[in-house]
Structures are given as C-alpha cells and as structure tokens.
Structure 1
Amino acid sequence: MTRLLPFRFDQGEQTLWLLDQRKLPFEEVWVPCRTAAEAAAGIRDMVVRGAPAIGVTAAYGMVLAHLSGEDPAEADRVLRHSRPTAVNLFYALERMKPHWGNPEASLAEARAIWEEVERTEQAISQHGAALLKGQVLTHCNTGPLATGGYGTALGAIVEAHRQGRVSHVWVDETRPYLQGARLTAYELCKAGVPATLVTDNMAAHLMSKGQVDAVIVGTDRMATNGDFANKIGTYALAVLCHYHGIPFYPALPLSSVDPKLNSGKDIPIEERSALEVTTIRGVPIAPEGFPAAHPAFDVTPHHLITGIVTEKGVLYPPFDESLPRALARGAGRQASVADS
C-alpha cells in the first residue's frame, strides 16, 4: 500500500505535524503541534484518529511536553482526557511515564512505539490476508491513516489482494463521520484495489445476494474475553454475518487488548457532538435544533467473532483462554495498560 502517513515529527522544529483527516480526500493540510495540549486537541478534534495513530500521537505529545518545558504530569493528564475509548492512548502514555524528565529517552521511546506499530501491522497484514478471499466488506478506516503503520484490517485486505486472494472490497461509508467514504476509499484508490462504496445500511442486502465472503474490521479496545469496541455500526455487521454464516474478524495489535477488562460491558463509549450527525461537512441535513444521538463506538460480543487477527497469529474461541495466552506468550510491555 502507498502509505500516506497521518503524522511526521520534525526534531529540528520541535514540531509534530498532523495530517488533518477532517479535510481528506479533498485537501491535504498539515497541522503543527508544539505542545502536549495541541497534540491532545488534534486527537480530541479528530485531526488524527484511529487507535494506533492516537497512541503514537500521544507518545509524541509527551515528547513535545519535554521539549517545551511543560509539567509532564499535567501533559499526561491532558492527553488522557482527549478521547476515552481507544486503549492505545493509555498504553502509549504508560510507556512514556518512566521517561518523564528525560527528553532524549522520551523521544527514543516514542520512536520505539511507532516502530512497533509498523512491525506488528506487517504481521497482522500477513496473518489476516490468509483468511480472506473473494469479496470482502470493511467498516470505518483501518489503513495507514488510522495507524501510522501499514494498517490492520485494511492492511490485510490490501495484502490479500496483492496475493490474488481478494478480488473486490465493499467499503461502508461509515456514518456519521464518513471515514469509509473519505479515507478508506482514498487509500484503496492509492493501493489500486478494486472497491465499491456502499452506505452502511446496504450490507444486509449484499450478504443476502452472496456478494460478501468475509468481513474484517479494526478495534479500538478489546476485553480479555474477546468483546471489543469499534466504530459505531460494527456490532450490526457482526450480527448480520452471524445470521448469514459469513466469517467475521476483528484485526488488532495486542496493545489494543485491555487486560484490566474481563468483558466489553466496562468499555467507555465516547459520545460525540450531535452536529456530526445533523450536518455533513457543515451542511445541515436535519431541521435546525433537532436532537441527535452520537455514540461513536459500539461493543461487539465475542460469541459473534470467527477469529481475532493479531501480530501473534489468528486467535480462535474460547477467547478468554486464547487471548491471555497470546498476551503472555510475547506481548510483554503491551499487556500493561493504565486505567482509563
């Protein structure tokens, strides 16, 4: 995949540059961050989004705090409050804690976190590709823009197409923020993968016609029993796959597993602005002042999952046994996640 990375760090300028994903695919605008608070604002306002990319951004936010002379404890607090659901944010900040007060060590650790993202996603892409064939449907955005690496679910799709296994991709538009329409479609164009954009409510129709051979999605936080939170609409896809007998796979680095959670019922679900539902790119699509709900994520129960694609391989039920084994087998520091 041709990678359009969501950030770059300029050590000379002491600046983290974020590619403004709110403006893609129409404009390529880079937003400078020179403090932890500016990095946190970039996360909160969805200049950068996607669980692994949020984690890397948070790590560099702590680097900025050191370079600008901020109190690291306050910088950590501000970053932790930027978004609540993606566990990679808290994982990265825990990784940075031992290096508070040491700018060089802080920068080295942030680089290490980013490099780990790239290594794990290469493995995820290979393991996931082996599961996919024919026509695949995906939801939201899980490519390089969401991760800073090679992508999780979308990385597997692109690799499967490269191997001649996947012939076509159905791209959910992913209302209300349209990550599928704006970002996944954009990345698949760059990768040269045949794809078709569909509205979220078309999935059942496609499945009933035998036009979907598998569904693979990303993950923002997973409990140790396999329940997981992902972009709103994921749960519905899992239910549809279960009904139609279609394999359903979440793809994720093991750093997205929260070892403190035994089930998905305790995963915090972010509630975002109603304006993101009642407007599209600032254009109203509902009567002025009409109330709207916007839970940004939903939780898919583990019994609807065929297998979990990780850098350690594909995990199968019972997940409350296979997930802890995978974490213990080599995840190491990735198993240590702070309370959110």
Structure 2
Amino acid sequence: MEITIVAGARPNFMKISPIIKAIEKLKTEQKPISYRLIHTGQHYSAALSDTFFDELQIPKPNKNLDVKSGTQAEQTASIMIAFEKELAENRPDFVLVVGDVTSTMACAIVTKKANIPLIHVEAGIRSGDRTMPEEINRMVTDSITDYFFTTSEKASQNLIDEGHSKEKIFFVGNVMIDTLLKNLNRIEKPTFWSDFNLKPKGYFLLTLHRPSNVDKGSSFAELLRTIVSHAGDTPIIFPVHPRTQQVLEAITSEFKNLHVVEPQGYLNFIYLLKNAKAILTDSGGITEEASILNVPCLTFRNSTERPETCTLGTNVLVANNIEKITASFQRLNNDEWQQAQEIPLWDGKASERIIENLVEIYYSKKGN
C-alpha cells in the first residue's frame, strides 16, 4: 500500500509528522506500507517551512512543487498543475491531505479527477463562516473525500448531516495533539527570552493573521490598542506572520510593551505558549494546543470550527467586542478562567488509529 501525503503550510507540518511516524512504525514491523511526501511549497520561507521539517524530524519531501506565493487563485492553479504531473508520474493507492489550507483543496481536486481514493485528516470541522478561505477549502475537500478522519464527534456529525456515509467516517482524535504531546519534553526557550525579561506566566502571546483582523490598517491598529490597553504593563510577544508584517510596520511604534518577533519554530513557539499568562489569537489550531496545555485563550473571532476548545478547553470567543474583551481580561486578572477538561481521543494516539484504519480499508478494498 502506497500513500501520497500532501503538506503545504505550517499547520500541515505538525499534522503529517505523527502520521509519518505511525507509517514508519508499521514498516519496522515488516508491514507492506510506504508513503511519498509531497511539499507543495505554499509556505516556502525557512521560518514557516524548513524549520518545522527539522524540528519535527520529518523526512525530506520526495518532491517540492515549489509553488510559492500568489493570490488564492494563482496558488490553487499552480498547485493543481504541478500535483497533476506528480500523480501522473507516481500513482499511489491513496492520497492523504490534512487540514484546510489552499494546498489541501487543490490537491484534493486533482486527486479525484485522477480517480484516486482521497483521505482527509481533520475532516468535518465547520465554523459556519464562509468569508474564511479555510471554510471554503474544508467544504470543497469534504465534498469529494472518500474517507474522513475526524477530531471530534461534532465534526463526524457535520459530515453525516451533509449526507456522507457513516461507514466512511472515522473519529480518531487530533493529530496536532499527537505532535504536541510527543514534543513537550523538547521545547526550547527562544533566544529573546532574556532580552525582554520574560517570566513564566508573566507575558501574553499574540498571534493574528486573518484578513478580517489585519488587512485594514485602521481596524488592525484599533484592535492592537484595545489589547495593549488591557494588558497594562504585561509584555506582549507577537510573532508576526509575513502577511501581517507590512501592515504592522506603519502602526507599531506607539505600542511600548508590544514586542514584535520573527515567526517562531515549533519548539520555541510551544515554549512560549506553554509559559504564557494567556494566548491572544485568531488561529484555530493554537486554541487546541492552549486547551491541552490549560492556558487561557482569547480568540478574536465570532465563530470557531473547534467548539470543543470552548466547551471543554480554555478558549473564549471575544471577536472584536470591547465588552467581551474587557470581561475576559477581568476574569484573567481575577484568576477566574475556565479550566481545561479532558477532550475525547485527544490523547496522542490519533495518527496510530488513522494508519490502522487505512490498512483495514486497503485490504478490504483489495479483498473485494
């Protein structure tokens, strides 16, 4: 059985790492399984790509499609053209895509047009917000997927509600948490830790990248002012995504306790996350990690595709609502934040369940 695994952007790398390790484990047991790793090149800077391969001990990709930057349409088209050639030259038994980035959707479409069975890991999550590019990517990918691996019972139910067969849906847990738990003993203090005189639970970690929050300079500045005003004297560490840097340059000079740093590697970032007083973000994946580490998390969005981080985790949706933001900071300062509870199957074994199920699927198809 040969699986082509696709990765293209930072969130993908954390998701494919444990899947590859699960395959490698079966290979050591002399099981007939192999994989071909394709990096689309959607994230191509060292900080967003190469570093994660090194830190997470992911093997060098068999092929880098090297598509690089462009508009959503340009990236999608470039990935599709390059991936079509890849599948023509190296046809697998399955193609496995993860998450909801542009590479996920583009390679999913090419896979189905080539009549190759498609696997989607982290299938079924929905925010209900179709203004998010990721929501479109999820919906398109799931509409043509053959086998779905989900992080929650809610995600599985979303797929059933959309008309997909229960027999093709497998609730396995969260591969992002597999990576987190496997690497907690390897996390590293960033080099700037002492430069900013940081202390455990003595700073906020901020990440913002969604167009609705960062693309308009005036509204972005207003959001930062709100955050800084509520943070008081507490330092704010802001690793800046490349798409945010240009907008940010014109407005950061007024914020004295806001420290802008380069995008962080995985081990440095998790160190920052684990030791933060709270996470301030508009990322979905970071809310998962914060919940497992029991770190308070404020999400500057109106909705989330990961509702379990709110019901069982440490995540609270505050959008850009001043009243909600103020109330949340008050709860933080009063040590009244909700404590994380156990989230079903977020136990570090999701990738093993995925590969076990794929082996069964493969031999079942072969037997037929």
Q: Normalising by the residue count of structure 1, what TM-score does the alignment of the two structures yield?
A: 0.35
